[in-house]
Each structure stands twice: as structure tokens, then as C-alpha cells.
Structure 1
Amino acid sequence: MRRAPALSFLFGTVFLDMLGLGLIVPIVPALMSAVTRDAAAAVFWSGLLGSIYGLLQFAVSPLLGRLSDRYGRRPVLLASLACLGLDWLAHAISPSPWTLLVFHALAGACAGTKTVVNAYIADVTEAESRARAYGLIGSAFGLGFVAGPTIGGLLGAVDVRLPFFAAATLSFANVAYGWFVLPESRPGDRTTPLTLRTANPVGAVTVVLRRPVLGRLAYARLCADVARMTHQSTWTFFLTYQFAWSTVQIGVVLAAGALVGAVFQARAVGPIVRRLGDRRAAVAGSLLGVAALAGTAFVSVPWMLYVLQAVGVLGSVGGPAAQSWISRHVRADEQGIVQGTLTGIGAVAETVVPVTAGLAFGWSLTYASPGLVFVGAAAFAAVSTLLLAATPDRRTVPIE
């Protein structure tokens, strides 16, 4: 196994994925307004596109994971990247929101990048090095988040559809690069069962949650996802309301936090997890996340916000540690389906939480404190911490 080219490709894949997403984030409202020719319709269709993507990702992710267990990681990953490129290309040329809906639904059904990347890393790294590899992937995520919106805003100033052409080009270039340099980490194994019970989302989630250790870790991941999405969905609105910050100030703080977090995950996560172990590092990181969220709820001056951001960066060690911990409790022939199931669970949170968190934040502005929504996020993070702390670090029975 040529690990260095493979891990480099995975790092590049996640970076380009986030870069492509970041390219189009500032431009989506303008594109949807141009396509629908109505501001209210643009908001409706933007929400519908996001919902259909999340719904289909939930429905199909366990199947994609199982296909990667049975037929190999490489074909599923390259097909996912190709579908994403088609989706961006459709955004660039489509004159109709219905066309966008079809292609975005296809992209959601093929959204196996995260699933396969996590399974691939488990295939090619030793258990003691796995958290470092997942930290590098988190670093790629952060770097793409920093670069994407900036480049997208510049391209969008030239033409509203240009960022989508750029995102499609990056996706197709990634497919071509992977075709030539990405080795297969798990050759096809036709003896791996492919049944309706494990390939449908409800059945896959049920099987995973029933396993004593893996089930607790999955519930902890769900609570952490709810907390994370609540923070992401409301943080910029909170800063605008609490400190009257401009979009430039918010953008600089976001970019700086993402850049520092990327460096921390790339350089510090591996040594920290080697010293503490997966379980203790996951619990410690989750506790720091609780502190950052709870502190944000009561922040009153901007300098406190920077301190809490630093605490949140330190807490980011918990994600790679928990991911490494999960992978150690999964057999080689079931990494794909477990990672796909976790991706599907996360897709539910990413679809539902932004809407509910936005409604809760709006209610709190009228009837309570604007920081109340972060108290709720901290509560979910605290439940995640308790689940991690209560979970024994032992092997569990395989999926059948």
C-alpha cells in the first residue's frame, strides 16, 4: 500500500471539496435570485435544495458505505466526486430551479466522500496513528473553509456563475488525479454481505445503535453534531446582534479561527492523542467544547470571544480522537457501512438543526437572552461528553 500518495490524495480531496463548497457559499443567494427572478422564491428553493440533499444523503450513505466494503473504496470515492462535479456544472448552466433540484438530489445520493475517506484512513493507518490522520483531514477541511469563500467572492464579482464552473473544474480534476494516483485500500470482497437490512438507512442505524459500545459512540456523535450545527447556524447572527459587527469583521474572525484550528489539527492532535489515548482525548476535547459553547452564551465583550475561540480550537482534538476510537471498534469489512451510517446520522442533524436553531434564536431575541441558543448547544455537547465518559474502551460484536 502506497500510504503517502493515498493520504495526500485524501487530504487534497477534502480540501478541494471544502474549497468548492466555499467557492459557491457567497454566491448561492445571487444565483438562486437570478434563476427564480424572485427573492422569496430564491429563499424557498435554496432551502429545498439543502433539504433534499440532506435527505438523500441520509437515505443512501449506508448503502454507499457497504458498496465500498464489498467492491472497494476507490470506485465509490471517484464516483462521488464525479457526481459532485456534475452538480456544480448544473448550477453553472441551468436556467431552471427544477434542474438544480434534480442534480442536487443526485449529488446528495452520491455524497460518499466523507464516508469513504474515513473508511480509507482506517484501512491504511495503524490504530496509534489514526487520530493524527483524522486530524490532518480536519485541517484540510479548515483550510478549504478559509480559502473558498474569499476566492468565490472574487470570482462571483466577475460573473455569478463563474464560481460554479470553478468548483466543477476542481471536482473533475480531483477525479482525474485520483484515477491515476489513488491505490485501492480494500480490494473488492464479494463475500461481504449486501442485504436490505444493512443497506437501508433505518436498518443500518438500528444495527449500529444496538451495539453497546458503538451505539453509545454514535449517540455521542449525534449530540456533538447537534451542538456543532447549532453553533455554526447562529454564530454570525449572534455576533451581528451582540456586537454590531460588520460582515468583514465576522469574516476575518472566522477565517482566523479556521486557520489556527487547521494548524492545530495538523500538528498537535497526533501527539496529544498518543499521550492521552483516544478515549481520554475525546472526553477532554468534548469538555473543552462544552466550556466554549457555554461561555459564548454569556460573552459580553469581544476579547472574551477570542479566548473562547482558543478554547474551541483546543477542543477540536475531540473529533479526530472520537473518530479514531470508533474506527478501532469496527472490523475492516464493516468500516464503510459504519462510516456511512454515521454520515447519514450527521446528515439528519445538518438538515434539521439549522432550521430549528434559527427559530430558537429568533424566539430568544424576543423573549429571552440571545445567548440562550448556545446554552442549548452546550447542553447537547455535555450529553455527548457524558456518553463518551461512560463508554468502556472494549471491542464489540460485528455487524451481520
Structure 2
Amino acid sequence: MRRAPALSFLLVTVFVDMLGLGLIVPITPALLTALTGDPAGGARWAGWIQSSYGLLQFLAAPVLGRAADRYGRRPVLLLSLSCLGVDYLAHATAPAAGWLLAFHALAGACAGTTTVVDAYVADVTAPPARARAYGLLGAAFALGFTAGPALGGLLGAVDVRLPFVAAAALALANVAYGLFVLPESRPGDRTTALSARPAFAVLDVLRRPVLGRLALARGAADVARITGQVLWTFLVVHRFGWSTAHLGLVMAASALAGALFQALATGPVVRRLGDRRAAVLGGAAGALTLAGTALASAPWEVYVLQGLGLLGSIGGAAARSWLSRATGDDEQGTVQGAVTGIGALADTAVPAAASALFAWSLAGPLPGLPFLVAAAFAAASALLLAATPAPPEARQAQL
């Protein structure tokens, strides 16, 4: 197994995914407003488009996960990346918002990148090294999202559709790169049955004692994470009046610090604490960060909380490593697909629900209320992890 080229490709894939997303984030409102002729209409279409992606991902991710077990990781990953490139091209050429909805839904149906990447890492890394590998993926994620918005803003100033062309070129170039350098990590098992019933795949995972707790903990953590991603800028602007430049600087600095921290600290911390304790510590740090953000009354408190939140990223990598250890080698794709499906449900429902709660809370004394709710979900995730038996290797090390 050529592990170094494979892991390098996965890191490039995650980086390009987030770079492409970051490229289009600053431009999407302008494009939809231009297509609909109305800012309010553009905002409504943005919500429908994002929800269609999450819904189709929920329906398709478990199927793609099983396909990765049946046919191998490589073809499913390259198919997912190809669909992403087509989606970006549609954004660059679509004459109406309805076209964007259709193609973004197609991209959601093909959105198996996270599922297959997580399964691939489990295939090519030994269990003690997985947390570090997942930490490196988290670093690539953060770096891509750091560079994307700045580049997207520059390209969008030239033409509102140019960032979508650039994102499509990156995604399709990554497909070409993968065709030449990506080896198959695990031959497919044609005895693995495909199922078109994604809810059954999710329920099958949830019924298992250890996997069910880990999947629920991951889902609760996703609710907390998405709430913070959707509302953080709105809260700090409302509370402190930060400018767009100030926001961009703080977000870029935070993302860069997170990337460095995940790349350099995840491996040593998880080796010392083990997957379980590191995951619980990260979940607790995330809960404290969100609760502190809800109550912060001065900008310096926000800066300190951003630093505390770095520990949460280690928890996420440790939890992914733990989930891979608890999963058999012949069903990594199936389980990762089910977990991705749970996350897709959160992606579908949480943005609308959290935004509505935030709008309601603005009329009261605590506009940070959604962050307290998110902190409760993060704490529930940490408690679920704490109540789950440690991986066998960790228990043996503690004897």
C-alpha cells in the first residue's frame, strides 16, 4: 500500500473541498440576488438550496458508504469529487435559481467525500496513528476555509461567477490528480448488499451499543458546531459592532491557529490521553466555548474563547479515530456513511432552527441563547462519550 501518496491526496482533497466552498461563500448572496432580483428572494432560495443539499446527502450518504465497501473507496471518492465540480460549473452558468437548486441537490446526492475519506484513513493507518491523521485532515479543512473567502472575494470583484469557475477547476483538477496518484485502499467486497433505505442503515448503527453512542455523540456535536458556524458572526456583530474587515481577520487568525494546532498537537495529545479521554476533553472544551460565547461581554473574552475552542478540534479527531476503531474493517464505509447521514440531517435542520431562535432571542435580554442551546448539545456529546466503554487498546494500556 502506497500510504504516503494516498494520505497526501486525501489532505489535498479536503483542502480543495474547503477552498472551493470558501471561494463561493462571499459570492453566493450576490449571485442569488442577481438571479432573483430581490435580496429577500435570494435569501429564501439560499435556504432552500442548502436544505436540498443536506436532505439529499442524508438519503445518499449511507448508500455511498455501502458502495465504498462493495466497490472500493477510489471510484466512489472520484465520483463524489466529479459531482462537486459539476455543481460549481452549474453555479457559474445557471440562468435561474431553480437550476442551482437542482444541481446542488445532485451534489448532495453525490456528497460522499467525508464518508469515503474517513473510511480510507481507517484503511491505510494503524489505529494508534488515526487520531493524528484525522487531525491533519482537520488542519487541511481549516487552511482551505482560511484561504477560500479571501480569494473568492478578489475573484468576485472581477466577475460574480468567476469564483465558481475557479472552484470547478480545482475540483475537477483534483479528480484528474486522483486518477493518477490514488491507489485503492481496500478491494471491494461484492457480497456487501446495497440498500436504498438510508434510514435503515442509520438505525442499524444506532442499535449497536458502542457505535450507537458514538454516532449519537457525533450528531450532538454536529448540532453544536453548525449552530456556532451559522450564528457566530451575527452574534459578535450584534454585540460588539465588528466590521467586516475585523471579522475576516479574527476568523482567518482563528482558522490558521486551528490548523496549526490540529496538525501539531493532535497526535501527541491523543497518544498521551487516548481516544476516549481526548474526545471527552474536546467535547467539554467545546461546550465551555459555546457557553462562554453566549455570555461574553467584551471582545477580549471572545479571543480567549477562540483559543479554548482549539481543544474542541482535538476532541473531534479523537472521536473519529475512536469510531473507526469500533468499526470492522469490512464495514468502515457503511458506518461512516450512516454517521455522515446523521450529520446531513443536522445540516438540513439546524441552520433554519438556530437562525429562527436567534431572531427571536434578539428581542430579549440574551441574544446568545442559541449558543447556550448549542453548549447543551456539546455537553451531551461529551457525556455520551464519557459513558461509552473505552476502545480495547486503551483499556489494556490502563491496566
Work out the CA distance in 2 between the residues paired with 1:316 and 1:163: 29
1:91 matched residue in structure 2: 91
**Structure 1 residue 99, shift from structure 2 partner:** 1.7
Q: Give yes or no for contact 1:224–1:384 (8 Å, CA) kept in 2.
A: yes
Matched position secondary structure for 1:330: coil
Aligned counterpart, 1:71:
71
* 2:243 is the alignment partner of 1:246: yes
* Equivalent residue, structure 1, for 2:397: none
Partners of 2:103 and 2:170 in 1: CA distance = 17
Q: 1:316 aligns to what SS in structure 2?
A: helix
Letter in 2 for 1:299: A
For 2:295 and 2:16, the matched residues in 1 are separated by 36
Residue 116 of structure 1 corresponds to which residue in structure 2?
116
C-alpha distance in structure 2 between counterparts of 1:203 and 1:373, whole Å: 31
Distance 1:154 1:123 in 2: 39
Residues in 2 aligned to 1:182 and 1:19: alpha-carbon distance in whole angstroms: 20
TM-superposed CA distance for 1:76, in Å, is 0.3
Q: Which residue of 2 aligns with 1:130?
A: 130
State the secondary structure of the residue aligned to 1:256.
helix
Q: Which moved more, 1:54-63 or 1:312-321?
A: 312-321
When the two structures are superposed, what TM-score results if normalisation uses the length of structure 2?
0.97
Match of 1:153 in 2: 153
Letter in 2 for 1:246: S
Q: Is the 8 A contact 1:19 1:148 kept in 2?
A: yes
Aligned partner of 2:375 among 364, 373, 378: 378
The structural deviation recorded for 1:285 is 0.9
Structure 1 length-normalised TM? 0.96
Cα distance per residue 1:260-283 (max 9 Å; x no partner):
000000111011101111001101
Partner of 1:341: 338
CA contact (8 A) 1:132 1:266 kept: yes
- Give the alignment partner of residue 216 of structure 1, picking from 207, 213, 237: 213
Matching residue within 285, 306, 313 for 2:310: 313
Structure 2, unmatched stretches of 5+, are 393-399
1:231 is matched with 228
Moved over 4 A (4+): none
Aligned twin of 2:189: 189
Tell me which residue corresponds to 1:297.
294
Q: Does the CA-based 8 Å contact 2:276-2:391 persist in structure 1?
A: no
Aligned residues: 392
What residue is the counterpart of 1:34 in the other structure? 34
Stretches of structure 1 lacking an aligned partner (at least 5 in a row): 396-400
- Please state how far the C-alpha of 1:247 moved relative to its aligned partner: 1.1
1:23-63 Cα distance to aligned partner (Å, 9 max, x none): 00000011112222222321221111111111000000000
Residues in 1 aligned to 2:3 and 2:112: alpha-carbon distance in whole angstroms: 21
Q: What CA distance in whole angstroms lies between the structure 1 residues aligned with 2:96 and 2:370?
A: 36
Note the C-alpha offset of 1:227.
0.8
Task: Note the alpha carbon deviations across 1:288-321, whole angstroms, 9 max, x for none.
Answer: 1111111112111111111111100122110000
- 1:222·1:349 contact (CA, 8 Å) conserved in 2? yes
Deviation at 1:101, TM superposition (A): 1.7
Contact 1:57 1:344 in 2 (8 A): yes
1:146/1:258 contact within 8 Å kept: yes
Distance in 1, matches of 2:191 and 2:44, equals 45
Alpha-carbon deviation of 1:117? 0.3
Amino acid at match of 2:115: T
Question: 2:18 corresponds to which letter in structure 1?
Answer: M
The aligned counterpart of 1:15 is: 15
Structure-2 separation of matches of 1:236 and 1:364? 15
Q: Which amino acid aligns with 1:105?
A: A
Structure 1 residue 222 displacement after superposition:
0.9
Confirm or deny: 8 A CA contact 1:292 1:311 kept in the other structure. Answer: yes
Output the CA distance in 1 between the equivalents of 2:361 and 2:6: 47
Letter in 2 for 1:389: A
Aligned residue number for residue 101 of structure 1: 101
- Once the two structures are superposed, residues 235-274 of structure 1 have per-residue CA deviations (whole angstroms, 9 ceiling, x without a partner) of 1111011111111111111110010000000111011101
Distance in 2 (CA, whole Å) between partners of 1:241 and 1:41 is 23
| Superposed displacement of residue 354, structure 1 | 1.0
Contact 1:60 1:200 in 2 (8 A): no
**What is the one-letter code of the residue matched to 1:221?**
R
**Structure 1 residue 368, shift from structure 2 partner:** 3.2
Equivalent in the alignment of 1:365: 362
Question: Counterpart amino acid of 1:262?
Answer: A
Distance 2:46 2:294 in 1: 29
Counterpart CA distance in 2 for 1:98 and 1:298 is 40
Say whether residues 1:332 and 2:329 are aligned partners. Answer: yes
Partner in structure 2 of residue 398 of structure 1? none
Q: In structure 1, the residue corresponding to 2:343 is in which secondary structure?
A: helix
Q: Does 1:268 align with 2:241?
A: no
Shift of 1:370: 1.2
CA offsets 1:322-363 (integer angstroms, 9 cap, x no match): 000000010111100111111111011111111111111111
* CA apart distance, 1:394: 4.8
Q: One-letter code of the match for 1:272? A: V
**Following TM superposition, by how much is the alpha carbon of 1:187 offset from its aligned partner in structure 2, in angstroms?**
1.2
2:262 counterpart letter in structure 1: Q
Question: Identity of paired residues, percent?
Answer: 67
- 3-state secondary structure, aligned to 1:186: coil
